[in-house]
A = this chain, B = another copy of it.
Amino acid sequence: MNKNNTTPQRGRPAKSGRDSSQTKQALVQSGVQYFTEFGFASSGIDQILKKVSVPKGSFYHYFASKEAFGIAVIEEYSHYFAKKLDLHLLNETNKPLMRIVNFANDAKEGMARYNFKRGCLIGNLEQEVGLLPESHRLQLLDTFAVWQQKMTCCLQLAQQENTIPASLDCTALASFFWMGWEGSIAKSKLTKNLTPIDTFIDVFLQLIAK
């Protein structure tokens, strides 16, 4: 975002060979991993730095504080997830409810790939909210609002298709979906298998189908 390789870099060069924005991005991605697995409070800056071979002294060059770093991490994940969501929920080659199923399958893959250790950053931090700075709390709320909006649209499409009853309030149903979703991800972390997610999706679809 900041500098590209056409402009020569001033200052002492990074040990890693990355330029400024690459290093920043690498740190954020490492943060996503650690925060998703261990939460904000229990993740140390040391580990996060070590993973991408950035020296400790550099951290406060790139970020003003752990809080500021957290904001960047949440933002990164939010963008990543919103993209994934659009990929499935706006895929016009599939019917609306099928899009939800596809999204769930995508997420299930991720759960298994990381051995059920990660789950959803937003859901994990949500539980930790009592230990988080207020800025993070608001950011999490924003993120959920975006996801909810996307899901609402998808459900409305299903409604227009007459796949689900017209009597349903799609906004409330979308909120309901995400609460159950986060619950199922958490349960899946606990059981270390995909059964909870499957149960959630199956029952959800069965309940809303006409």
Contact = CB atoms under 8 A, between A and B. Distances in A.
A141 B199 contact: no
Interface residues of A, number: 46
A13 to B, nearest CB: 37
A75 interface: no
A14 interface: no
Given A42-B42, A199-B172, A187 B180 contact: no
A118 B189 CA distance: 21
Nearest to A36: B130
Interface in A113-143: 117, 119, 123-124, 126-131, 137, 140-141
13 contacts: A39-B39, A39-B127, A39-B128, A42-B131, A126-B190, A127-B127, A127-B186, A127-B189, A130-B189, A144-B187, A173-B203, A176-B180, A179-B180
